[in-house]
């Protein structure tokens, strides 16, 4: 099937750009990673690489002028495959020869009815799909629509977010199952999920972050913690053991320095790892983290652990959100399936008793007077009913605090766009501060 | 016609009996006549004959010809009497034998009853109730089978309700008699013999409040009058296909309960409007626009669809008459298409 090459967003606020020149000729065979074209925006110029291999069929060239982000600029075809009908950006004839010296010929008059062309080019999406894509920072043009005449629906957006990540890879020796997304270069961003969640739950945020980072996306890694997702249910069920497992998994991946992102219990783990020192925290972003105070909604924890059916799980999962409808059927099913493995319930009960005995957070982070020097942020929903956002006030003064409206305990789901913005900002800020790649490499060894 | 399922549950502990829709209206009229001397009934053949649909049957014997008045076959005159009596402090309940005949009385309903409070600067009101037997399905042809509720709902100054159950037929009628302004009640003729639980005592169903008859997650089906029952049956069939439909009984066309509709569509992301009155410029168009103009727009995951009466007079031939108004299978097919194919 033809792979669409679209004009990517390479700048946070970029709406359109122009193709400066094609680096590959029409009809040439390209391999993944090969630079395809140069893009020019109001701010920068950069090379865009092929995401797949195939025979290049150019749709839009430098003559096309300003092209909207998301427009199709070329296709990668299989041998013998015909290009799909010319799409929106095909305003000019493909001209693979850069710096042509021929005088510009007058454009031929359009031969087909412009109405039909417009209709084919129209991006169809339901209002709900548009709103979701907007709030999660996704580019609709990159999403395949399954509705009538290619209309994009809510399910298509959800599917696109899900497909952002690869399936859980086999654990390396001493490691944990990991889902990967993003690029191959740069300090990795590591995601640590909360109690009763799993790596897959980071999908939406990871898709939104990858969209924001564009071609410069660092590796994004989400781990399944012991007793969750595809990880085993064996070993000691304690906060310290979870932290050791996470550190071990990072080291098994060869990671010496990482941007750490953690949610709830995973937030406490991320902070613990940053304080530990064996992994160099390039930045720290904690979403509604545990470990900063005593209170936690014990009834919800207990209810989620005990629930065996969607109807008994729903009331508790609804407490995680400011908008209860966010606890939808898919999330309930995923949560139930995630806890269904034999032996898992027992492990989680022991972990809950260790981390939250008698409905109290027992593990408290000791900040060791400014031991975390990396940029650090805490993100919390004002409507969090699981852990009160005021716990954030116990964090060191260097931490920035983002309080989100209309958001409960799951900012990564309920305010995906805002969290992705905050993450992207943190990553950009941390890059400036980071020591050079070689310094970090020593740590990694 | 389709089987009507009981969809009301009476208040906790109240003495509820299963009685017919016609009996529920009779009970409401009787209790209003007993409770308030200002209440009187007028209409064609509502006295000794008991009304075309036997709703008023014995009331003339209980309350006398002074309070249950047979009018001549002159709708405009009867409506004028009712408006005048209401202005003078009475609480008339006017029955049109068929809602189609209200066309003869439009001057009194639209220009007088609906306007007088406004034109007299609030110094007078018209506490008039008009009962309208309406709808197709009786083989009575084009002049006796219409659903004209949208006409009246278009007039500021009128309230328009459409009870679907015996419970609401009684409660909305009593609320209408209490109301200080004119209220038009559309009663579907096929509903008169249907039964459902009705509390024995007098109670009111608030005007302007829709009822969720069946909660669901996949689609909102808003229906009026007899279409509520067809929508519920369609919802049961949809459940067999794995779809969970929410059915809302609109109950009042004016005022329109947009809050309940917006909340529902926000949850289900899909909307199907079903009514028997002609689809073009019908209540479904108003609901669709209200949703498109509301915050629920951003929750729509499929186009809004409407089912309504065909763009023709109600045919006499039974097969054509059936085809001219939405049926259970039409609702099922339209809802399934929206859920499964997004169109």
Rg (CA), chain A: 24
Handedness of CA B87, B89, B91, B96 (dihedral sign): negative
Which residues of chain B make contact with A128, given a CB cutoff of 8 A?
A: 269, 298-301
Reply yes or no on whether the pLDDT at B211 is more than 60. Answer: yes
| Share above pLDDT 70 across residues of chain A, in percent, rounded to a whole number | 82
- As given in the structure block, the two tokens for residue B11 are 């208040």
Q: For residues A387 and A380, give the distance between their C-alpha atoms in angstroms, rounded to a whole number.
A: 9
Q: Phi and psi for B226 in degrees, rounded to 5?
A: -65, -25
ipTM score here? 0.79
Per residue in A249-289, pLDDT tens?
999 888 999 999 999 999 999 999 998 889 999 999 999 99
Q: Label residue A443 by pLDDT band (50, 70, 90).
A: very low
Domain ranges in chain A with CATH number 2.40.50.100: 1-82
Q: Label residue A98 by pLDDT band (50, 70, 90).
A: very low
pLDDT (0 to 100) of residue A437: 41
Per residue in B223-250, pLDDT tens?
999 999 999 999 999 999 999 999 999 9
- Among the partner-chain residues A128, A148, A329, the one whose CB lies closest to the CB of B298 is A128
Q: For residues B230 and B272, give the distance between their C-alpha atoms in angstroms, rounded to a whole number.
A: 13
Per residue in B245-287, pLDDT tens?
999 999 999 999 999 999 999 999 999 999 999 999 999 999 9
- Structurally, at CATH architecture level, domain A122-163 sits in Irregular (4.10)
Reply yes or no on whether the pLDDT at A208 is more than 60. Answer: yes
Establish if B340 touches chain A: CB-CB under 8 angstroms. Answer: no
Average pLDDT of chain B is 95
CATH topology of domain B18-199: Rossmann fold (3.40.50)
Q: Is A271 strand, coil or helix?
A: helix
CB B42 within 8 A of CB B215: no
Q: Options 3.20.20.210, 3.40.50.920, 3.40.50.1980, 3.40.50.2020; which CATH number does B211-341 get?
A: 3.40.50.920
Reply yes or no on whether the pLDDT at B61 is more than 60. Answer: yes
Q: Label residue A102 by pLDDT band (50, 70, 90).
A: very low
Query: Among A301, A403, A290, A300, which Cα is nearest to A348's?
Result: A301
Instruction: List the single residue in A with minimal CA-CA distance to B299.
Output: A128
- As given in the structure block, the two tokens for residue B304 are 């809004």
CB B246 within 8 A of CB B212: yes
Domain ranges in chain A with CATH number 4.10.320.10: 122-163
Q: For residues B75 and A369, give the distance between their C-alpha atoms in angstroms, rounded to a whole number.
A: 90
Domain boundaries, chain B: 18-199, 211-341
Establish if B267 touches chain A: CB-CB under 8 angstroms. Answer: yes
Strands, sheet with B245-249, edge to edge from the N-terminal-most edge strand: B211-214, B245-249, B219-223, B271-278, B305-309
Distances (CA, A) of A63 to A95, A110, A114: 8, 16, 20
Q: Which residue has the tokens 């014990």?
A: A298
Q: Which residue has the tokens 């270069």?
A: A185
How close does chain B come to A331, measured CA to CA in Å? 15
- Judge: B301–A128 Cβ closer than 8 Å, yes or no: yes
Counted across chains A and B, CB pairs separated by less than 8 A come out at: 34
pLDDT average, residue stretch B210-222: 97
- Kindly give the pairing relationship between strand B91-95 and strand B129-134: parallel
Instruction: List the single residue in A with minimal CA-CA distance to B218.
Output: A329
pLDDT average, residue stretch A10-19: 69
pLDDT average, residue stretch B106-121: 98
Instruction: List the single residue in B with minimal CA-CA distance to A129.
Output: B301
Q: Phi and psi for A268 in degrees, rounded to 5?
A: -65, -40
Q: For residues A367 and B15, give the distance between their C-alpha atoms in angstroms, rounded to a whole number.
A: 67
Which residues of chain B make contact with A148, given a CB cutoff of 8 A?
A: 341-343
Establish if B269 touches chain A: CB-CB under 8 angstroms. Answer: yes
- Kindly give, in sequence order, each residue whose CB lies less than 8 Å from that of residue B81, ignoring residues fewer than 6 positions away: B42, B71, B92
Any idea which residues of B carry the catalytic annotation? 75, 144
pLDDT average, residue stretch B88-114: 98
Which residues of chain B make contact with A156, given a CB cutoff of 8 A?
A: none
Domain ranges in chain A with CATH number 3.40.50.1820: 167-444
Helices and strands in chain B: count of H runs, count of E runs: 12, 14
pLDDT (0 to 100) of residue A62: 79
CB A396 within 8 A of CB A368: no
DSSP B167-190: HHHHHHHHHHHH-SS-EEEEEEGG
Q: For residues B214 and A138, give the distance between their C-alpha atoms in angstroms, rounded to a whole number.
A: 35
Round to the nearest angstrom and report the end-to-end CA distance of chain B.
Answer: 28
Which residues of chain A make contact with B343, given a CB cutoff of 8 A?
A: 147-148
How close does chain A come to B264, measured CA to CA in Å? 12
List residues bridging with B219 in a β-sheet. B245
Least confident range of A299-303, A334-338, B293-297: A334-338
Longest dimension (CA), chain B: 60
Q: For residues A279 and A257, give the distance between their C-alpha atoms in angstroms, rounded to a whole number.
A: 6
- Kindly give, in sequence order, each residue whose CB lies less than 8 Å from that of residue A373, ignoring residues fewer than 6 positions away: none
CATH number of the domain located at residue range(s) A167-444 in this protein: 3.40.50.1820
CATH number of the domain located at residue range(s) A1-82 in this protein: 2.40.50.100
């Amino acid at each position: 099937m033809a792979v669409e090459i679209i004009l990517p967003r390479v700048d946070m606020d970029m709406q359109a750009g122009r193709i400066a020149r094609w680096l590959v000729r029409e009809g040439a065979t390209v391999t993944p990673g090969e630079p395809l074209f140069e893009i020019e925006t109001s701010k920068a110029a950069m090379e865009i690489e092929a995401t797949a291999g195939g025979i290049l069929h150019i749709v839009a060239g430098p003559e096309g002028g300003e092209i909207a982000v998301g427009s199709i600029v070329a296709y990668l075809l299989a041998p013998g495959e015909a290009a799909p009908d010319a799409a929106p950006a095909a305003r000019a004839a493909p001209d693979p020869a850069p710096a042509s010296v021929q005088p510009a010929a007058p454009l031929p008059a359009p031969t087909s009815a412009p109405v039909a062309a417009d209709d084919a080019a129209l991006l169809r999406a339901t209002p709900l799909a548009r709103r979701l894509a907007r709030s999660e920072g996704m580019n609709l043009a990159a999403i395949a629509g399954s509705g009538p005449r290619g209309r994009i629906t809510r399910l298509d957006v959800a599917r696109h977010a899900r497909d952002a990540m690869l399936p859980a890879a086999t654990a390396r020796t001493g490691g944990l199952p990991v889902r990967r997304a993003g690029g191959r270069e740069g300090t990795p961003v590591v995601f640590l999920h909360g109690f009763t969640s799993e790596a897959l739950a980071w999908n939406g945020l990871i898709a939104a972050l990858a969209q924001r980072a564009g071609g410069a996306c660092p590796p994004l890694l989400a781990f399944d913690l012991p007793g969750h997702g595809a990880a085993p249910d064996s070993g000691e069920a304690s906060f310290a053991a979870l932290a050791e497992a996470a550190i071990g998994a990072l080291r098994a991946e060869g990671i010496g320095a990482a941007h750490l992102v953690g949610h709830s219990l995973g937030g406490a783990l991320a902070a613990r790892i940053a304080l530990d020192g064996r992994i160099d925290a390039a930045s720290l972003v904690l979403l509604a983290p545990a470990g900063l105070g005593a209170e936690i909604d014990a009834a919800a924890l207990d209810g989620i652990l005990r629930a065996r059916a969607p109807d008994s799980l729903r009331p508790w999962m609804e407490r995680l959100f400011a908008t209860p409808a966010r606890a939808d059927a898919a999330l309930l099913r995923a949560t139930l399936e995630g806890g269904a493995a034999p032996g898992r319930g027992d492990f989680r009960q022991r972990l809950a008793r260790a981390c939250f005995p008698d409905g109290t957070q027992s593990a408290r982070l000791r900040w060791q007077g400014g031991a975390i020097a990396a940029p650090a942020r805490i993100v919390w929903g004002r409507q969090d009913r699981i852990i009160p956002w005021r716990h954030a006030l116990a964090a060191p003064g260097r931490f920035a605090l983002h309080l989100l409206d209309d958001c409960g305990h799951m900012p990564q789901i309920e305010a995906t766009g805002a969290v992705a913005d905050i993450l992207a900002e943190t990553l950009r800020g941390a890059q400036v501060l980071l020591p050079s790649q070689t310094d970090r490499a020593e740590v990694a060894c | 016609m389709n089987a009507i399922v009981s969809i009301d549950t009476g208040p906790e502990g109240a003495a509820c009996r299963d009685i017919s829709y016609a009996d529920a209206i009779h009970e409401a009229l009787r209790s209003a006549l007993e409770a308030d001397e200002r209440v009187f009934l007028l209409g064609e053949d509502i006295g000794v004959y008991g009304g075309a649909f036997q709703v008023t049957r014995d009331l003339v014997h209980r309350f006398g010809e002074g309070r249950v008045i047979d009018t001549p076959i002159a709708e405009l005159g009867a409506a004028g009497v009712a408006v005048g009596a209401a202005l003078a402090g009475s609480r008339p309940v006017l029955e049109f034998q068929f809602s189609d005949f209200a066309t003869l009385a439009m001057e009194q309903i639209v220009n007088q009853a609906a306007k007088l409070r406004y034109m007299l600067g609030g110094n007078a009101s018209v506490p008039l109730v008009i009962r309208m037997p309406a709808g197709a399905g009786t083989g009575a042809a084009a002049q006796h089978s219409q659903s004209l509720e949208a006409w009246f709902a278009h007039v500021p100054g009128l309230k328009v309700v459409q009870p679907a159950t015996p419970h609401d037929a009684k409660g909305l009628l009593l609320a209408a008699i209490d109301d200080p302004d004119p209220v038009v009640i559309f009663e579907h003729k096929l509903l008169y013999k249907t039964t459902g639980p009705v509390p024995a005592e007098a109670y009111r169903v608030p005007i302007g409040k829709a009822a969720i008859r069946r909660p669901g997650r996949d689609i909102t089906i808003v229906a009026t009058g007899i279409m509520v029952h067809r929508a519920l049956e369609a919802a049961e069939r949809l459940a067999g296909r794995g779809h969970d439909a929410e059915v809302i009984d609109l109950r009042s066309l004016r005022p329109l309960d947009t809050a309940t509709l917006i909340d529902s569509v926000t949850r289900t992301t899909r909307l199907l409007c079903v009514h028997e009155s002609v689809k073009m410029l019908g209540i479904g168009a108003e609901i669709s626009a209200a949703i498109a103009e509301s915050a629920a727009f951003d929750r729509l995951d499929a186009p809004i669809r409407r089912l309504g009466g065909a763009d023709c007079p109600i045919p006499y031939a039974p097969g054509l008459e059936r085809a001219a108004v939405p049926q259970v299978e039409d609702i099922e097919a339209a809802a399934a298409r929206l859920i499964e194919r997004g169109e």
